[in-house]
Structure 1
Amino acid sequence: MNKSKLLFIIITLYLVVFTFFISKSIYLFFTAHIEKWNSVIDIIAIVILVVIVLPITIFISEKLTTSILKRKLAEKKIYYTLITVLMFIPIIVFSVSMLNEYKTKSLKELLEYDKSSFEAVFVNHQKMTEDHQAVKKMVEFLSQYQVKKINDRDWNSDVSKETGFMIEIRTENEVVMASIYENQLMSINNNGDYYKVVNGPIEIRWVYDYIKGFDNF
């Protein structure tokens, strides 16, 4: 494979990934703010991505490749250094991402939400309150517990013997959901990721005693 083709492929991959994340953010923004969003708009969005955005991305990749090769970067030593760096950046980013994903963190981090657009909180599918202060108190209580992500095979699917609850924190743009048990939990927002409680068990009784003070409970 010659220099230009290899460089073009690497730059294109970088730009495609970048374009994907930007497009996804724009898509999620509009779906959250347009009430009558439907499948027709989804199809239009896909067509725009394939027919307009991707060709522009490839065009930019080609121009960048040409520009780089016209400069001293085309010299053998500099060229291979550049290629090596470009190839290792995703590996480093992925490694750091994995380390961050599997590190011990506060349960509160899994319940992060936009406080400025808070609407209500539901427990076990029942509306608990629209009082933001009440929710903050519950989240602060849960923040004392540390959790760590685990693999699917380490998740104990038999939760019939465990006390737990489901929490839904609703804002204008999203719903933060988690099924929380004494020694493990599932974060529904994070692709259904599983976590173990490092300093458990979680005092589930406190949660149920707390929500008893609200009308629906």
Structure 2
Amino acid sequence: MGEQTGLRERKKQRTRWAISSAAVRLFQESGFDRVSVADVAAAAEVSKPTLFAYFPTKEDLVLHRFADHETEAARVVRERADGEAPLAALRRHFLDGLDRHDPITGLNDTRDVLDFQHLLYSTPALLARMPAYILRGEEALADALAETDGTDPFAARLAAGHIIATQRVLSTRNVEEMRAGRAATDVYPEAVARAHAAFDLVANGLGADFGGSSRTGR
């Protein structure tokens, strides 16, 4: 039974990715507003009801790649090592992402990622939906922070807002550098320095409860 469930889930993931990839390709070729959901379904060789079962809206065909990261910050906090402060864990995770050139950090200059960024930032309908994804990630992080012993729920929500905004600003700056034609390897040292400065600023503003000002969090 477990093996069958695993196979079904992998098939669903493949179908989901195939639909999204077809959509992004069509949107990049013809423009988001000129491509219909029916066009996407035909290109992915699925029915419209099947498409909507995976992606409730046209915008979700693109933005699900961000939605997949909605609870990432919350997961990092919950899975941090014993004795590691939440902010230290989040700093470490972001720096690891920069080192791997994870697209979610903005520091990635591969053609596919640059094309995706151009689609996103040049399409008002997609940009208009971004705040909802950011807010859900902030709420998830606030819940995780509130689980820390002695943490006031309001303080947790306030901290989550600061942290998610910091990550967003850092990622956006990296995207701007990539779209300006700079190489990710050249920007990397600057991106690391900006990340340290930004997390230090958050730590010093929030106080010791969420990690202090140490870069290592130790």
TM-score (structure 2 length as normaliser) = 0.30
Max radius of gyration: which structure?
Answer: 1
TM-score (structure 1 length as normaliser) = 0.30
Identify the structure with the greater strand proportion. Answer: 1
